[in-house]
Amino acid sequence: MKNIDSRTHTRGESVYLDDVPLIQGTLFGASFGSPIANGHITSLDLSEAEKIPGVVRILTYKDITGQNQIGGIIPDEPLLAEHHVDFCGMPVAFVVAETYEAAHAAVKKIKVEIDPLPIITDPRDAHALGQLIVPPRTHRLGDTEAAWQSCEYIFEGLAETNGQEHLYIETQGAYAIPQENNALKIYSSTQSPRATQAATCKVLGVAMHQVEVDVIRLGGGFGGKEDQANAWAALCALAAHILKKPVKYALDRMEDMAMTGKRHPYSSDFKIGLDKHFKILAYEVQFYQNAGAAADLSPAVLERTLFHCTNTYFIPNVHAVAYSCKTNLPPNTAFRGFGGPQGMFVIEAAIVKAAENLGVDASVIQQINLNKTGDEFPYGQKAVSEAHACWDKAMDRFNIESVIKETHYFNSTNKLYKKGIAMMPICFGISFTNTMMNQGRALVHVYTDGSVSVSTGAVEMGQGVNTKMLQVAAYVFGIDADKVKLQSTSTSRVANTSPSAASATADLNGKAVFMACTEIANRLKQVAADEMHIPIASITLKDNHIHVSDQKHEMTWERLIMSAFFKRVSLSEHAHYATPEIHYDKLKEKGHPFAYHVYGTAITQVTIDCLRGTYQVDAVKVVHDFGVSMNPLIDRGQIEGGIVQGIGWMTLEELIYDKEGKLKSNALSTYKVPDIYSVPKVLEIDFLETTADNLAIFRSKAVGEPPLMYGIGAYFALRNAIKAFNPDAHIPLSAPMTPEKTLMALYSKPLKPDQEKNEETTSSLEVNQR
Ligand code: LUZ
Ligand code: MOS
């Protein structure tokens, strides 16, 4: 089944926040962000701004009717700065005007004086000063100290990954409309209607039943709207609440890039030990997460870094420590993979460092250490592993032995172009790591004409979740897809939603749809059984008809619905699903946090132009564990998008903050994202149908985040191509591998041993500035 939105998307008819028709009298907001990354506000002068024609009101923290607090996990984030600012772009004032232009003109006239304080942008500097968002977290398995004794080879190093701008095509925004009796309706581009509702109510000081958040769809989220949609909704709602007028604010691209948090940059130290057969015996790692100026989702992201710190490898002795470091950058936030990719990059870097020193291909070490069913992750859960199945099928299906030979041959016969390849196996845990969040709900109505309305907690953001929800309902009722309509995601129809995140949305909400529809279907079958005097067990619903003992009966779905209605049988149901079996003890750092894991293996092939440092990704070929895909077209789209987004993070996308904490790469002219020319020339996805029982909806495994991590292969493939040109090249284990860094690396000299430590502790931020 095609994505149900494909027709309106293609015709430009799909409705996003900015397409919601405006009510007469709507006012427009714009926020004034701090120009300084750290300091005390000594004066705020709004007088010039207030004189701009059309300006209605300029709100500051003093106007907040409830609490000035939007922190999700920790209450450490004011909506509007009071006396102190701690990142560039931190909202200080909110202008409300009759036009968009007036609001933006007024923002430019606001004057603020700030007594500056020292600015920290590097997580290691923050750590050294003891500036942590939460106490460090530690995952342990076995005993690394004892294990070093048995290691034949031990390697240490430093690995870094930069942040990533979400670049959802639709920027952040909200539209708040006052209702009678002080209630509010908010259209928001949020992944988390409940969180947006809760944050708004806290700021306004009203009860949650007063505020409805309604989400039609998002033009992309990628994690950027899991927590960071709330501020804009709260600002619009506050203005609407005070002025009794509808207020809209949709950020323009540069505002969005400057003010919102991104994927967390990480700097990490690793130590890896292997026996003489290249079995990894021990792994120690310290992660320094650049959290930015407030907690946001950083503690949860930090946790997922630890959960994925051994990727898909079984390592018997692990000691991993993660620090969430408070800096003066905008608070960093969820981004597809949620800290997992950052953790996985480091173990891959450690393996590559070992491989390069041992003179073997990294794939040899990777393969030997893939986990097997029954192997324990450092957090205590036992693997149900598809790692070998994916790897072996990839070797076979993509003729990897001969690809390796061809690559060597190409490199031995070409001077100025070099090819590189890398294998990238992945393993990603499915469930919110916070067990409590693993719940979903659905509300299903069957109308008297037989048409069906489905509301869930799932937010459609291009990932196709509505199509999957529709498939579930149509399947259970045995009716055509066009009889089912997916409604917007509204807190009035489905309450207390978890964010659409963690790749778990289709599972959590799909199971709830399944439960609600099954309940209604059972009632309908009872109606038919009573009417026909046959046992209910002989009845099924299929092809828009009743089937009796698998024979199509003349009674149609529509007739059955009318019968049920006349018998006063309920045609509506609300269902609640909570993932069974999962649990986690944060004090012991052990448990069974994930419903299941998703596996896969990718091979990435690249070619570098060694004169220019430019490159292309020739191919990414993947064997991916889909379980049993319920929608291969949508799932393939998720894999393709994830790979390209991952490659962007690893190669092109370079966030640069200067020492003042200002974002330099603040527009698409300076922040490069993959385009049609930089996507892999060949993108092949092989569906591995896996049969192990799992908790996925219809055994169709979650597909949102896992494929992003295939992109990590591009970094290491480039590294291998550089080494083919210059075997002694000094290449810091620091992503992204931009063309500039590639060129530098191609002509680099090896470091002298005494340089190594110094050079490697230089952060990529400083490298960028040099
Ligand atoms: N969001 C969240 C997530 O709140 N918890 C998670 O575990 C998670 N994982 C992936 C993506 N978003
Ligand atoms: Mo996400 S990173 O699943 O919002």
The residue behind tokens 């845990």 is 429
User: Which pLDDT does position 770 carry in this prediction?
Assistant: 33
Pairwise CA distance, residues 334 & 262, whole Å = 7
* Residue nearest atom 10 in ligand 1 by C-alpha distance: 502
Q: Which atom of ligand 1 is nearest to the CA of 226?
A: 1
pLDDT value at position 755? Answer: 67
Q: Are residues 559 and 703 in the same domain?
A: no
Q: How many domains does the chain have?
A: 3
Q: Is the CB of 226 under 6 A from ligand 2?
A: yes
Site of tokens 């810091």 = 732
DSSP H/E element including 688: strand 682-689
Distance 594 CA to ligand 2 centre (A): 15
Say if residue 232 is in the same domain as residue 315.
no
pLDDT class of 763 with cuts at 50, 70, 90: very low
**Among 260, 262, 305, 336, which is best to mutate for testing ligand 2, by the most ligand atoms less than 8 A from CB?**
336
Task: Compute, in angstroms, the gap from residue 297 CA to the centroid of ligand 1.
Answer: 8
Residue 187 placed within a domain: yes
Please compute the mean of the pLDDT values over residues 76-98 and round it to a whole number: 98
Work out which ligand 2 atom sits closest to the CA atom of 225. Answer: 4
Residues 415, 522 within the same domain: no
Residue 563's region, left for phi above 0, alpha for psi from -120 to 50, else beta, is: alpha
Is residue 540 over pLDDT 90?
A: yes
CB atoms within 10 A of CB 146: 11
Do 278 and 356 lie in a common domain?
Answer: yes
What is the average pLDDT across 275-292? 98
Q: What amino acid occupies position 461?
A: M
pLDDT at 758: 53
The CATH number linked to 59 is 3.90.1170.50
Cβ neighbours of residue 283 under 8 Å, at least 6 residues apart? 144, 270, 271, 272, 273, 309, 310, 315, 317, 318, 319, 320, 347, 350
Q: Which residues contact 676 (CB under 8 A, 6 or more apart)?
A: none
- Beta carbons within 8 Å of 662's beta carbon, 6+ residues apart: 37, 88
pLDDT band at 766 (very low <50, low <70, confident <90, very high): very low
Asked whether residue 58 is domain-assigned, the answer is: yes
Instruction: Tell me the per-residue pLDDT of 386-430, one tens digit each, with 9 for 90 and over.
Output: 999 999 999 999 999 999 999 999 999 999 999 999 999 999 999
Distance 702 CA to ligand 1 centre (A): 13
Please report, rounded to a whole number, the percentage of residues in the chain having pLDDT higher than 70: 98
> Is residue 600 in a domain?
yes
Residue whose CA is at the smallest distance from ligand 1 atom 7: 432
Mean pLDDT of the chain: 96
Residues spanned by the domain of 455: 439-578
Give the DSSP per-residue string, 428-494. EEES-SSGGG-EEEEEEEE-TTS-EEEEESPPPSSS-HHHHHHHHHHHHHT--GGGEEEPPEETTTS
In a domain? residue 514: yes
Residue owning the nearest CA to atom 11 of ligand 1:
502
- Structure tokens of 610? 């060694």
Measure the CA–CA gap between 398 and 562, rounded to whole angstroms.
55
- CB–CB of 178/244 below 8 Å? yes
Residue % of the chain over a pLDDT of 90: 96
Per residue in 94-146, pLDDT (tens digit) is 999 999 999 999 999 999 999 999 999 999 999 999 999 999 999 999 999 99
Predicted pLDDT at 204? 98
CB 87 within 8 A of CB 331: yes
484 near 475, Cβ under 8 Å? no
CA distances in angstroms from 218 to 202, 255, 302, 438, listed in the order given: 24, 18, 26, 22
Q: What residue's CA is closest to ligand 1, atom 12? A: 502
Q: Which atom of ligand 1 is nearest to the CA of 432?
A: 7
Question: Which is the closest atom of ligand 2 to the Cα of 501?
Answer: 3
Among 205-214, 280-289, 666-675, 761-770, where is mean pLDDT lowest? 761-770
Q: Which ligand is nearest to the CA of 500?
A: 2
| Whether 573 and 595 share a structural domain | no
Ligand positioned closest to the Cα atom of 298 = 1
DSSP symbol at 68: S
677 plus 556 within the same structural domain:
no
| Same domain, yes or no: 340 and 253 | no
Predicted pLDDT of residue 756: 60
* Token digits of residue 57: 């009101």
Residue range 728-758, pLDDT digits in tens:
999 999 999 999 999 999 999 988 776 665 5
Q: Note the pLDDT of residue 768.
A: 41
For the annotated catalytic residues, the residue numbers are 705
Domain stops at, among 533, 553, 578: 578
Ligand 2: centre distance to CA 710 (Å): 17
Beta-sheet pairing, 583-585 with 572-578: unpaired
User: DSSP character for 664?
Assistant: S
The gap between the terminal CA atoms of the chain, to the nearest Å, is 51
The rounded Å distance from CA 226 to ligand 1 centre is: 9
**Spatial distance between the Cα atoms of 595 and 599, rounded to a whole number of angstroms:** 14
- What Å distances lie between residue 37 and 33, 41, 123, 134, 663, CA to CA? 10, 11, 15, 21, 11
Whose Cα sits closest to atom 3 in ligand 1? 502
Boundary-marking domain end, from 578, 611, 630: 578
Q: Are residues 352 and 382 in the same domain?
A: yes
From 578, 604, 623, the end of a domain falls on: 578
> Is residue 223 within a helix (H) or strand (E), and if so which, with residue range?
none
**Is 694's pLDDT higher than 50?**
yes
User: Which strand (E) or helix (H) includes residue 158?
Assistant: strand 153-161
Q: What is the arithmetic mean of pLDDT over 325-341? A: 98
State whether 218 and 331 are in the same domain. Answer: no
| Amino acid 767: pLDDT | 39
Whether 146 is in a domain gets the answer no
Q: What is the pLDDT of residues 629-674, one digit of tens each?
A: 999 999 999 999 999 999 999 999 999 999 999 999 999 999 999 9
Ligand 1 centre and the CA of 502: distance in Å? 4
Output the CA 221–ligand 1 centroid distance in Å. 13
Domain holding 282: CATH number?
Answer: 3.30.365.10
Q: Within a domain: residue 93?
A: yes
Tokens coding 677? 């020319």
Task: Give ligand 1 pocket residues (Cβ under 6 A).
Answer: 223, 226, 297, 300, 304, 334, 338, 432-434, 501-502
Q: Which of 164, 194, 222 to mutate to test the pocket of ligand 2 (most atoms within 8 A of CB)?
A: 222
Do 279 and 194 lie in one domain? The reply is: no
In a domain, 375, yes or no: yes
State the distance from the centre of ligand 2 to the C-alpha of 309, rounded, in angstroms: 18
Residue closest via CA to ligand 1's atom 9 equals 502
Q: Does 151 reside within a domain?
A: no
Q: Check whether residue 517 and residue 389 sit in a common domain.
A: no
Give the C-alpha separation, 214 to 17, whole Å. Answer: 10
342 vs 306: CA distance, rounded Å: 10
Q: Is 334 in the pocket of ligand 2 (CB under 6 A)?
A: yes
Burial class (CB in 10 A: 0-12, 13-18, 19+), 625: buried
226 CA: nearest ligand 2 atom? 4
**What phi and psi values does residue 661 have, to the nearest 5 degrees?**
80, 20
In a shared domain, residues 613 and 568: no
Contact 501 CB / ligand 2 (< 6 Å): yes
pLDDT in tens, 560-593: 999 999 999 999 999 999 999 999 999 999 999 9
The reported pLDDT for the residue numbered 769 is: 39
Half-sphere exposure of 401 (CA within 13 A, CB side): 3
Q: Backbone dihedral region of 608: left (phi > 0), alpha (psi from -120 to 50 degrees) or beta?
A: beta
Q: How far is the C-alpha of 622 from the C-alpha of 424, rounded, in Å?
A: 9
At 605 the three-state DSSP class reads: strand
